[in-house]
Structure 1
């Protein structure tokens, strides 16, 4: 849904999009107490209400799994999902909740792939993963090949934020040609993270290389900035792409 705000002279001024077009967010840190997102159930509920006001009907929450910092397991994540589902029901909030994970590409993830351990996915076996923001992992393509050989569909979280792709946009194009789906963060559209991230997400949208859009919401600050995103011309353009969010 696109709304138009008009100035006093009746001329079109700003297009305001609604995230209800997406309907489903597939990247957030709203589950309580297990990573750098919401710390308590009360904070989680505030975030769920904020996402509902933005137009979302379903949240697939993706806590970090990172061997050095966040040693979450599928069992821990599912347990916290149940805690939040119960709280949402008790508060009478109409929001569907589900979980997956944001897997950090480290040796522990490679070992889990080697051992074929359970990895939390969403939708059609989509596996959300991230890497270091500064340095391209030497095992990036090895990990992607392993994911695909096990039947996973790899989804690279916030590709616009990896500085090692700056000046090497064709490397992102190459990854997508190899079957890696790309999920930029909505807040990058306002330059929230950096001018470089804003430039890359705009190039990805222009090239039609966006498969999912995610909030990556950790706090109310992120949700407040999403209100600014609604006025982005590039959001309007992105919502015209064949995004997969609404099919989840």
Structure 2
């Protein structure tokens, strides 16, 4: 196994082990490690195990993004920050002091999200003054108010970031539509596990096409559990498209 990774990454590199293959990204900006908020980690113990796995992969900063979705995941900025404080305390107690922990959110584009924008309620963003806001949509149906929401986000001073565009089936066979989304000022964040076909063959194809076109702005793990981090280590690291995308001007290490 070791010789395989030496051939893949080059035997002269001291940091290019499979365990640290994502170290050059430095920052993950999409995960569900905060405990008890959504379909990710349920307990602090699970959060710590995931945190250890992310550290092994080479990450030194995690911007964790729990779902905020209408009546389903009714998380609030105060609740998310409280969960972050609990995890920070638990990480320190566990001796994990070399990974910086921050929070934002993954907003679902629904009527409640539009109400937040209309009310002027501050959104959980990341990237400091850049005010990146991660958002997702239905996987099947294209939102009728997609462009309006993007306009409203930008008008409110936020930079919209579309989570895992490769997973939205309404874009399949419509790559020019994705090009238009990015031309209209939306940054695109691809899930690393898509490179291994974890979600679907279609998502893998679109992710590869986005990389070929140089349209990936950020990479995220979207880690919910140890199966996700195991897939990153065992199946994503060996893919040629990981090596290709890591040569592109990604924003992760600037966050």
TM-score by length of 1: 0.95
Please state if 1:107 is matched with 2:95.
Answer: no
Q: Of Structure 1 and Structure 2, which has the larger fraction of its residues in helix?
A: 2
1:76 paired residue among 75, 79, 93: 79
Task: Find the counterpart in structure 1 of residue 189 from structure 2.
Answer: 183
Deviations 1:90-127 (Å, cap 9, x if unpaired)? 11112110000000000000011111111000002000
Question: Aligned to 1:141, what secondary structure does the other structure show?
Answer: helix
Runs (4+) of structure 1 exceeding 6 A deviation are none
Task: Find the counterpart in structure 2 of residue 141 from structure 1.
Answer: 147
Task: Find the counterpart in structure 2 of residue 89 from structure 1.
Answer: 92
Task: Find the counterpart in structure 1 of residue 8 from structure 2.
Answer: 14
1:60 paired residue among 63, 75, 83: 63
Offset at 1:171? 0.5
Deviations 1:188-219 (Å, cap 9, x if unpaired)? 00000000000000000000000000000000
Which segments of 5 or more consecutive residues in structure 2 lack a partner in the other structure?
A: 10-15
Offset at 1:5? 3.4
Q: Give the length in aligned residue pairs.
A: 241
1:231 paired residue among 226, 238, 247: 238
Question: Aligned to 1:14, what secondary structure does the other structure show?
Answer: helix
Which segments of 5 or more consecutive residues in structure 1 lack a partner in the other structure?
A: none
1:125 paired residue among 107, 128, 131: 131
Question: Aligned to 2:133, what secondary structure does the other structure show?
Answer: strand
Offset at 1:247? 0.5
Instruction: Please give the alpha-carbon distance, in whole angstroms, between the structure 1 residues aligned to 2:171 and 2:39.
Output: 25
RMSD over aligned CA atoms reads 1.3
Please state if 1:221 is matched with 2:227.
Answer: yes
Offset at 1:165? 0.1
Deviations 1:140-189 (Å, cap 9, x if unpaired)? 11100000111100000000000000000110000000100000100000
